[in-house]
Copies of this chain bind each other. A is one copy, B any other.
Amino acid sequence: MKIKQILLAARPKGLPVAEDFKTETATLPELQPGEVLVKPLYLSVDPYMRGRMNDTRSYIPPFQVDAPIESSGVAEVTASKADQFKPGDKVMSTAPRPFLPWATAAIFPAAHLRKVDDSIPLTHYLGLLGVPGLTAYFGMVDIGKPKPGETVVVSGAAGAVGIVVGQIAKIMGCRAVGIAGGSEKIKLLTDTFDFDAAIDYKGNPDMDSAVAAACPNGVDVYFDNVGGDISDAVARHLNFFARVPLCGQISLYNSTEVPVGPRIQPILVTRSILMQGFIITNYASRFGEGVKQLAEWIKAGKIKYTETIEEGFDRLPDALLGLFSGKNSGKMIVKV
């Protein structure tokens, strides 16, 4: 069977460009007993994927040059030589490799797939009940530990993780302040997602005063998705005993040299602040708890969600590149 797939053509230097990807056709072998043929329906693009394009030590192995890109996704079974699956089943791949290749079809051993309940929108598995929702949940509950009345600031607030962080902050009785780029996103945060305040970093010459104005009692939890100058401005307003879940540093992912900036350690020492990097797979053994709580909040109408859906397999590289210019509101997904 002929398929189309998208490969990493070259390791990008700095911001990735279209030429770092290439599309080719390939042939899948015959389906063997115990195997399942699937067709990706929705593929996720996520900021962490930039890191996998480098050949550096991180929490997931790097992509290989001339091999298909892979990402989270929901697929449909189109043929099966395994009893557990039949055509039409909606599936996701499981740990230790919970990804689908960027291909129009793929073969998996049955043991590496799990069925998903298709009575809820399938894209939720890539968003609220998937990596972004669980990332927001565990970063807040396990590291941020917000207490009622505290101020929670989240950067990348209009992104897939950020909008959930802000809503969890509100559920926990906190003041929620989001930082995002552009008036449309700012309006989305305060009007649709009930943030108490939102700061537009684009073209803002004085982020320091903006953070001070939005956080009259300082910052108790800073959920950091972006790093760089924006985080420097927030850092100056961190309170004694503040907690900083470090979820991402998207502003630095395309740096070609070691990023330099004001040292954060003196602030952490003098104010007894905790800063902790994390990745969602650290919490794999507690995913059930997270999914259960998030599903309850969704049912109770306490968490809303937004997605940006691009259409067409060929749009995958563009959708990924779009993350770095902030094209998405909420989770960015490609409908294959």
**Residues of A that sit less than 8 Å from B by CB:** 51, 56-59, 224, 227-228, 231, 240, 246-249, 252, 258-279, 282
> CB-CB < 8 A to A59: which residues of B?
240, 270-272
Q: CB < 8 Å: which of B228, B268, B276 contacts A273?
A: B276
> CB-CB < 8 A to A249: which residues of B?
263, 265-266, 269
Name the residue of chain B whose CB is nearest to the CB of A247: B269
A273→B277 contact, CB < 8 A: yes
> CB-CB < 8 A to A262: which residues of B?
258-260
> CB-CB < 8 A to A56: which residues of B?
270
Q: A247-B269, A272-B59 are in contact. Are A260 and B259 (CB under 8 A)?
A: no
Measured CA separation A272–B277 after assembly (Å): 4
Shortest CB–CB separation between residue A334 and chain B, in angstroms? Answer: 25
Measured CA separation A57–B258 after assembly (Å): 31
Q: CB < 8 Å: which of B260, B268, B278 contacts A275?
A: B268
Name the residue of chain B whose CB is nearest to the CB of A224: B265
B277→A227 contact, CB < 8 A: no
Shortest CB–CB separation between residue A142 and chain B, in angstroms? Answer: 11
B272→A274 contact, CB < 8 A: no
B268→A231 contact, CB < 8 A: no
Q: A271-B277, A275-B276 are in contact. Are A265 and B266 (CB under 8 A)?
A: no
> CB-CB < 8 A to A58: which residues of B?
270-271
Report how many copies the assembly holds. Answer: 2
Measured CA separation A213–B246 after assembly (Å): 30
Q: CB < 8 Å: which of B261, B264, B274, B279 contacts A274?
A: B274
Measured CA separation A333–B148 after assembly (Å): 45
Shortest CB–CB separation between residue A162 and chain B, in angstroms? Answer: 16
> CB-CB < 8 A to A282: which residues of B?
272
> CB-CB < 8 A to A274: which residues of B?
274-277
27 pairs across A/B with beta carbons < 8 Å?
A51-B270, A59-B270, A59-B271, A59-B272, A224-B265, A227-B263, A227-B265, A246-B265, A246-B268, A246-B269, A249-B266, A252-B263, A252-B265, A252-B266, A258-B263, A259-B263, A259-B266, A260-B260, A260-B262, A263-B264, A268-B275, A269-B277, A272-B277, A272-B278, A272-B282, A274-B276, A276-B276
A268→B259 contact, CB < 8 A: no
Measured CA separation A268–B249 after assembly (Å): 10
Q: A59-B270, A270-B58, A274-B276 are in contact. Are A261 and B260 (CB under 8 A)?
A: yes
Measured CA separation A272–B276 after assembly (Å): 7
Could you say which of A51, A246, A278 has the most chain B C-beta atoms within 10 Å of its C-beta?
A: A246
> CB-CB < 8 A to A231: which residues of B?
265
> CB-CB < 8 A to A246: which residues of B?
265, 268-269
Given contacts A258-B263, A272-B276, 6 further A-B contacts (CB under 8 A): A59-B240, A259-B262, A260-B260, A264-B264, A269-B278, A272-B282
> CB-CB < 8 A to A275: which residues of B?
265, 268, 274-276
B268→A279 contact, CB < 8 A: no
> CB-CB < 8 A to A277: which residues of B?
265, 267-274
The 10 A-B residue pairs with the shortest CB-CB distance, nearest first, are A268-B277, A269-B277, A274-B276, A58-B270, A259-B263, A258-B262, A246-B269, A275-B275, A261-B263, A249-B266
